Structure 1
Amino acid sequence: MASSSGTSNRMLYAGGSLLAVLLMVGGLGWQLGWFGGETSGLRVETEKAQRRTITQTVTAFGRAKPEVKVTITPDVPGEIVALPVQEGDVVQKGDLLARLKPDDYQAAVERAQAQVSEAKATLAQRRADSIQARRTFERKKKLYEKGVIPESKFYDAKTSYTQAKARLEAAHFRVESAKADLRDAREQLQKTRLYAPMNGTVSKLTVEVGERVVGTQQRSGTKMMNIARLDRMELKVDVNENDVINVAGGDTARVEFDAYPDRSFQGKVTEIANAARIQNQGSQNEVTNFPVTIRILGNPNAGPAATRAGGGLARPERPAESGAGPVIRPGMSGSVDIYTETVNDAVAVPIQAVTVRDFNEVGPGADTTKQKQSAEEDLRKVVFVAEADSARMVEVTTGIADDTYMEIKSGLEGGETVITGPYSAVSRELEQGDKIQTRSGGSQAGGPLATTQ
């Protein structure tokens, strides 16, 4: 009898424990939406449609380069005997950059001077001959007119005078030619000295004293150095063909360089190429870009090089330089955000809230009166608005977008609660009238789940 009573008590305790576990699991399952989905609905994330300023940007990448750069090449060949500048030196217009060995060119000048002297001596001789021939001709002319000499001697004197005048004229031309050769020889000698054509910085130096260089008279010539205006820098970036239509000359831009992640520079679009630059042409990876030039406003290299706050290493063996070197050096890589258009007081929603639906397809909860018999797609942009415990599909017209928000031109007035996620729900699953609940949990009707008002 006692054994039967103990067994009954154990069964009663086990049943009570099982019932308690079932109640706990049921409550937890209800909260987590494991069941009761008919009233809880699809879990979604929401955000208010608000009025804000939206600026559309086009992002591109490129490398810094001077806006003005001159490559120094010699006009004459020769050996470098003096190189008074180093890479990084600041030079003024007219400063001596290099000097070539002048011996051969000095000798050419001396030869040309000798030729000028010789031509002048010949000219003097021809002038004397011409004077003598003219006197002989005049004397024989008088004798011929008096009938003293025959006609043949008169014409011989006339011919000699004509030849003397021609030789005198030729001597004049030889003097001018010799003088031209002398000017050319002196110019060649002067070209052995290379001077700075403008104010700037020696941004690149590729030669040393003792090297022989080739002049531009012999093909392209040796590129000895570059003189650049580092106070006027620019970037040439590649903009995709889909974005370049939004870019216009004069658009402002923000420029950031990899070397200085904590600094930004203001820029302006100065040039947009008309011809495309095509990469991987003819392949599946073909990319069409247009080069766009961005000028950095102001002088980016006026101050000391920027340093990250709190960064860097302390090097006691090397004193810190207070203002050495340019901030932006040619070849530095950077990114550009071009501000193409700005809309103030625009109704804006997160970009992920806008999706596309085919209005020729009828999904669960859709308005069947809008179904069309056409087999073609009728794709329209929509957002889903959370109202009470259901989703309402609203067709919208969109405008520009920034990195986060998109302008809504029509369809929303602002203040509506739009569904922003999850992506699978917004892009595919949600339909007109679907039951919803927020990601944080809770009934839209005011139950234990959070309300999206």
Structure 2
Amino acid sequence: MSPTKKILIGLGVLLVVLVGVALTLGGGEEGIEVETAEARVRTITQTVSASGTVASEVEVAISSDVSGEIIFLAVEEGDRVQQGDLLLRVRPDFYATEAERARAQVATAQSGVGEAQNAVTEAQQAVEQARADLARATAERERTERALTRQQDLFDRDVAPAMDLEAARGAFEVARAAEASARQAVDGAQARVASAQGRVRSAQTQVQGARAGARQAGQQLAQTAIYAPMSGTVSQLNVELGERVVGTATMSGTELMRIARLDAMTMEIDVNENDVVNVELGDSARVEVDAYPSEALRGAVVEIANSARIQNAGTSQAVTNFPVVVRLAAAGDDVTDAERAPEEGVPAAPGPTLRPGMSGTVDIYTRSVPEAVVVPIQAVTARDFNEVERERRRRAEALGEDVPDTDIPEGEDIRRVVFVVVDGKAEMREVTTGITDDTHIEIREGLTGGETVITGPFRLLRTELAEGDAVKTDD
């Protein structure tokens, strides 16, 4: 074969290859390849998600009121107890001795009251005797006074001698002095009565103090035996037999154990300040505990804190959360709607065995809209309508079309839009959005349902895609 023929054959093969490549690259449908989804009409439920820890709705920390050594421990961690069950005893010897001493002090004080009352009786008898003596002295003084008056009259008439007058005057003075002495005796006896009554009151006060001490000693003795204040489970046991504990009378005391109602559990979560405004008491929730990934629990919001928990306060990384308490209900089917809990509250006693401190995730169903037009969240983007109008006018000028003379504002006019595929082209539609769930967003205005919306790629949808661009769907 001649060299010329070989060259012609090679050129022919190259031409065939170039034609094939051209047909492969240029023979397909023109347009940008995009991802799409259908705008659907269905019920959409807004959720607020947060994580937290399981806690008992009712948990009581038990401390000892008295100090001493534990000589009897009736429970172990995890035991079920009933209200009134004996939990443990603290050695009572010291408190029993104190109670006996207090009772002895009461008896001593009571004997003091008896002695003081006897003294009052004796003083009152002395008063009566002194009053009788005073009465006799007064009578004698009055008699001698009358005798003196008669002798004075007789002496004035020169009937009686001066000697009789002086004798009568002397008798009167003696009687008057005796009366004054008797009156002082009465005053002294009354003073002794008042003093004795004061001793009675003092002794009675001592009795009251001794009785109060006896009651306190008796209470402390009784407090050496500690009973369950409620029915539940010993969720935490902090002491051992033989250990010494400090009573609450000394500082904060030793926490002995905790009793919790494990059939009434809650989940406390921290909800961001932007989401807590959507949460209301009674909102239903779906709870997933990490220890039971296959068992979803139902719940209801029972408490929303008014005070925030601020992390990294005073810095640019500050985060403001509000504690929200969700009461857990029985295990069952997944909760996917926003049905509210009944007014009397959700039933207690969840199926799986939950323990305080377990972690989990809560989805709170805050609001539901039936028959809503929904699209994937990523389908909704934003556009500056002023810039869109500028670009439209530039294209019109390039094509020689008339352009309006009105000025376009310098600022931004950011609006939410969705791109819909119409006849192989992207059509931009302004939309008004509503609530969202984990994957979709409600479209209140702009779509009617059934449209094919562009959902990606993200970079293309975010900045590059424009009104009228030819597109190819991912179908």
TM range (shorter): 0.7 to 0.9
Matched, 1:161 2:190: no
> Aligned ranges for residues 361-372 of structure 1 at < 5 Å?
361-362=387-388, 364-365=391-392
Change (3 A) 1:370 1:123: farther
Matching residue within 320, 330, 333 for 2:359 = 333
In structure 2, the residue matched to 1:408 is 443
Change (3 A) 1:58 1:160: same
Instruction: Give the deviation of 1:174 after TM superposition.
Output: 1.8
Q: Which of 47, 50, 66 is matched with 1:60 structurally?
A: 50
Structure 1 Cα separation of the partners of residues 309 and 23 of structure 2? 64
Opposite residue 362 of structure 2, the aligned amino acid is V
Q: Which residue does 2:413 correspond to in 1?
A: 378
Shift of 1:76: 1.2
Q: Distance in 1 between matches of 2:408 and 2:294?
A: 58
Q: Match for residue 270 of structure 1?
A: 302
Q: 1:371: how far off? A: 7.7
- In 2: Cα distance, 1:196 partner to 1:371 partner: 83
* 1:100 and 2:90 aligned: yes
Match of 2:7 in 1: 11
Aligned to 1:388: 423
Distance 1:371 1:118 in 2: 109
Could you tell which deviates more after superposition, 133-142 or 342-351? Answer: 133-142
Query: Hey, what's the Cα distance between the residues in 2 that align with 1:116 and 1:245?
Result: 64
Identity fraction in percent: 48
Contact 2:40/2:449 (<8 A) preserved: yes
Residue 129 of structure 1 aligns to a residue in which SS?
helix
Task: Decide which structure has the larger Cα Rg and report it.
Answer: 2
Query: Which of 95, 108, 128 does residue 118 from structure 2 map onto?
Result: 128
Q: Which residue of 1 aligns with 2:60?
A: 70
Contact 1:267 1:296 in 2 (8 A): yes
Counterpart of 2:337? none
One-letter identity of the residue aligned with 2:425: S
Q: CA deviation at 1:240?
A: 0.9
Q: 1:256 aligns with which of 267, 271, 288?
A: 288
Match in the other structure for 1:450? none
The C-alpha deviation readout for 1:205-258, integer Å capped at 9, x for no partner, is 111111111111111111111111111111111111111111111111000011
1:426 aligns with 2:458: no
Partner residue, 1:26: 22
Cα shift at 1:407:
0.6
8 Å Cα contact 1:238/1:289 also seen in 2: yes
- The 2-side partners of 1:222 and 1:265 are apart by 36
- Counterpart position of 2:80: 90
Q: Does 70-79 or 282-291 show the bigger shift?
A: 282-291
Partner of 1:170: 202
Q: 1:207 to 1:42 in 2, by over 3 A?
A: same
Q: After superposition, what is the alpha-carbon deviation per residue over 1:395-447, rounded to whole angstroms, capped at 9, x for unaligned?
A: 0000011111111000111111111111112111111111111234xxxxxxx
- Shift of the alpha carbon at 1:295? 0.9
Code of the residue aligned with 1:259 in structure 2: it is A
SS of alignment partner, residue 447 of structure 2: coil
1:310 aligns with none
Provide runs of 4+ in structure 1 moved above 6 Å: none
Query: For each residue in 1:357-401, what CA deviation from the matched residue of structure 2 results, as whole angstroms up to 9, or x when unmatched?
Result: 001103655787598532211000001111112111100000011
The equivalent residue for 1:358 is: 384
Per the TM alignment, residue 276 of structure 1 is displaced from its structure 2 partner at its CA by: 1.3
2:214 aligns with 182
Which sections of structure 1, spanning at least 5 residues, go unmatched? 34-38, 306-326, 441-453
Q: Is the 8 A contact 1:80 1:98 kept in 2?
A: yes
Structure 2 runs not aligned, ≥5 long: 138-177, 331-346, 397-402
Alpha-carbon deviations, 1:324-359, whole Å to 9, x = none?
xxx111100000000011111101111111100001
Structure 2 residue corresponding to 1:348, chosen from 370, 374, 383? 374
| AA in 1 matched with 2:136 | K
Contact residue 297 and residue 350 of structure 2 kept, 8 A = no
Q: Flag the 1:376–1:423 CA change in 2: closer, same or farther, 3 A.
A: same
Offset of residue 169 of structure 1: 2.3
CA distance in 2, matches of 1:370, 1:422: 36
Q: 1:196 to 1:220 in 2, by over 3 A?
A: same
Matched residue SS, 1:183: helix
Q: CA RMSD in A?
A: 1.9
Q: Decide whether the 8 Å contact of 1:365 with 1:431 is kept in 2.
A: no
Amino acid at match of 2:409: S
Instruction: Quote the residue 1:435 is aligned against.
Output: 470
The residue identity in structure 2 corresponding to 1:408 is I
Q: Which residue of 1 aligns with 2:69?
A: 79
